[in-house]
Amino acid sequence: MSEKAVLMLEDGLLLEGKSFGISGEAVGEVVFNTSMTGYQEILTDPSYRGQIVCMTYPLIGNYGVNETDVESKRVQVEGFIVKESSLIASSWRAQVKLQDCLSSNEVVAISDVDTRAITRRIRQKGAMKGIISTVDFNVKSLKKKLEVTPSIVGQDLVEKVSCDSTYEWEEGLGIKKLPGEYRRDPANRCVVVIDCGVKLSILRNLKEYFLCVMVVPAKTPLKEILKLRPDALLFSNGPGDPEPVTYVIETAREVIARLKKRELKVAVMGICLGHQLLGLAFGGRAEKLKFGHHGGNHPVKDLESGRIDITAQNHNFVIPHTSIPEAELVPTHINLYDHTPEGARHKKLPLFSVQFHPEAGPGPFDAQYIFGQFARMAQEVQK
C-alpha cells in the first residue's frame, strides 16, 4: 500500500494523495508543465531548481527512465506532482522505473491528486509556494512552513546549478540528430558556454557546429573566458530570477562594451535566462509572469519573416522590451499566447538572444535551426 502524502498550496488548498518518491517534505514554487511526454528531461532540467512541477498530462512514467534522455547529472526539481504514476515502464529503452529514479535522487513526489484543479488554481491566482509532505498532515504546521519559505524572487539559484570548474563537452546529438543543415565547419573552432544551469541538449547541439565546446562556471571572469580563445559566447539557460545574478550581468556588460569598442571579435547568443541577463545588461528590468511558461507547445512568431515556431519554454520572468533603453537592440520574436517578448538582436553587434528553448528537450524541434544561425554569425565575425 502506498504511503499517504499531502499537497498544500500557499492559498490554503489541501489535497491528499499517494507518495511515489522518498518519504519527507519538499517546498518550492508550484508551476505546471503542459508537455505530454519528456518528464525525464523536465525533471533533470536545472532551470527547475527551486520549483515543484505539476504535470498536466494525466499519466506519467509509462516509458520509464534511461541514461540518455537527461539534461543534467541529477533530478533538479524540488518536488513532483502527477495525476497517475504508471506502474509499468513499457519501453525497450527503459532502464529503471520513474518511482525508482525519484527515490534514488531523493525527490518527494505525490500522485493521485487532481492536477487539473491545481493547474486551474495557478492560472487563476498565479504561481504560488507549495509543500508536499508524507510526514506532516497538520494544516497549521504546513501553512507555517510555507510562510517562512522565501520566494524565488530575489534568490540567486544559478550558483546552485552552475558547474564547479571548466570542462570540455564532446558529445553530439547522436541518435537524436535530425537530417538537415548540421555540419561542423573548421572555421568555428570554439564556443564558450557560460553555465547558468545549461541543459545538455544545448551542448549536444553546439557540438554539431563547433569543433570545441567549453563550459565555464557562471562566476568566471571575462579575462579567463577569453584565454580559451572563443569564436562565440553563449549565455545559457538557468533557474529563477535573473536580477540577483549580478556577476553574469556584469560579464555581459563587459562583453557588450568591448564589442562596441571593437576590442572583441565573438558572436554572442543567449537562451532563456541568458536572454534575460543580456536584456538586463542593456539596461532593462525583469518582470515576473503570473504563472510562467512551462511546456512544449508555445507558438512564437518571428517578427521579421512571419514564421511561427512551436517551441519549448521554461521561464518565470521576462524583460519587457520597452524597459530596455538601448535603441539598437530590436525585438525579433513574440509569444502568441500572451504577446510577451521572446527574442532580440542588436543591429550593429553580432549578438542575439531567444527566450524559448531552440534545443527542445523535450518539445518540438521547430526552432533548432537557431543554432545554425549562431554558428554562421560566428563565422562572419571571424572574417
- Per-residue pLDDT tens over the stretch 7-31: 999 999 999 999 999 999 999 999 9
Q: Which of 148, 169, 201 is the last residue of a domain?
A: 148
Question: What is the chain's length?
Answer: 383
Provide the β-strand partners of residue 109: 80
288 is a domain residue: yes
Q: Which of 111, 128, 148 is the last residue of a domain?
A: 148
State whether 75 and 180 are in the same domain. no
Q: For this structure, is 208 an active site residue?
A: no
Q: Is the pTM of this model over 0.85?
A: yes
State whether 102 and 242 are in the same domain. no
State whether 168 and 43 are in the same domain. no
236: CATH: 3.40.50.880
State whether 354 and 320 are in the same domain. yes
Predicted confidence (pLDDT) per residue in 133-176, tens digit:
999 999 999 999 999 999 999 999 999 999 999 999 999 988 77
> What is the pLDDT confidence band of residue 86, given thresholds at 50, 70 and 90?
very high
- If you search the block for the grid coordinates 541529477, which residue do you land on? 74
d(CA 311, CA 95): 28
Predicted confidence (pLDDT) per residue in 320-362, tens digit:
999 999 999 999 999 999 999 999 999 999 999 999 999 999 9
The per-residue pLDDT for 200 is 97
State whether 32 and 76 are in the same domain. yes
State whether 113 and 170 are in the same domain. no
The per-residue pLDDT for 324 is 97
19 is a domain residue: yes
153 is a domain residue: no
The per-residue pLDDT for 178 is 74
What value does the mean pLDDT take over residues 47-53? 97
d(CA 270, CA 4): 43
112: CATH: 3.50.30.20
State whether 227 and 367 are in the same domain. yes
State whether 167 and 127 are in the same domain. no
State whether 325 and 197 are in the same domain. yes
Q: For this structure, is 272 an active site residue?
A: yes
Backbone angles phi, psi at 178, to 5 degrees: -95, 150
Backbone angles phi, psi at 350, to 5 degrees: -80, 70
pLDDT at 181 over 90: no
State whether 186 and 317 are in the same domain. yes
Q: Which of 104, 128, 148 is the last residue of a domain?
A: 148
Residue span of the structural domain in which 183 resides: 158-382
120 is a domain residue: yes
> What is the pLDDT confidence band of residue 186, given thresholds at 50, 70 and 90?
low
State whether 19 and 79 are in the same domain. yes
Predicted confidence (pLDDT) per residue in 273-328, tens digit:
999 999 999 999 999 999 999 999 999 999 999 999 999 999 999 999 999 999 99
Task: Work out how many domains the chain is built from and give that number.
Answer: 2
35 is a domain residue: yes
Query: Cell digits for 224?
Result: 579567463
Amino acid letter, residue 78: E
pLDDT at 218 over 70: yes
Q: Which is the catalytic residue, given 294, 315, 346, 357?
A: 357
Task: Output the average pLDDT for the chain.
Answer: 95
Q: Which is the catalytic residue, given 272, 275, 298, 321?
A: 272
What value does the mean pLDDT take over residues 188-199? 95
What value does the mean pLDDT take over residues 184-205? 91
Predicted confidence (pLDDT) per residue in 30-45, tens digit:
999 999 999 999 999 9
d(CA 55, CA 42): 10
Q: Nearest Cα to 353, choosing from 370, 338, 339, 336?
A: 370
State whether 16 and 144 are in the same domain. yes
> What is the pLDDT confidence band of residue 182, given thresholds at 50, 70 and 90?
low
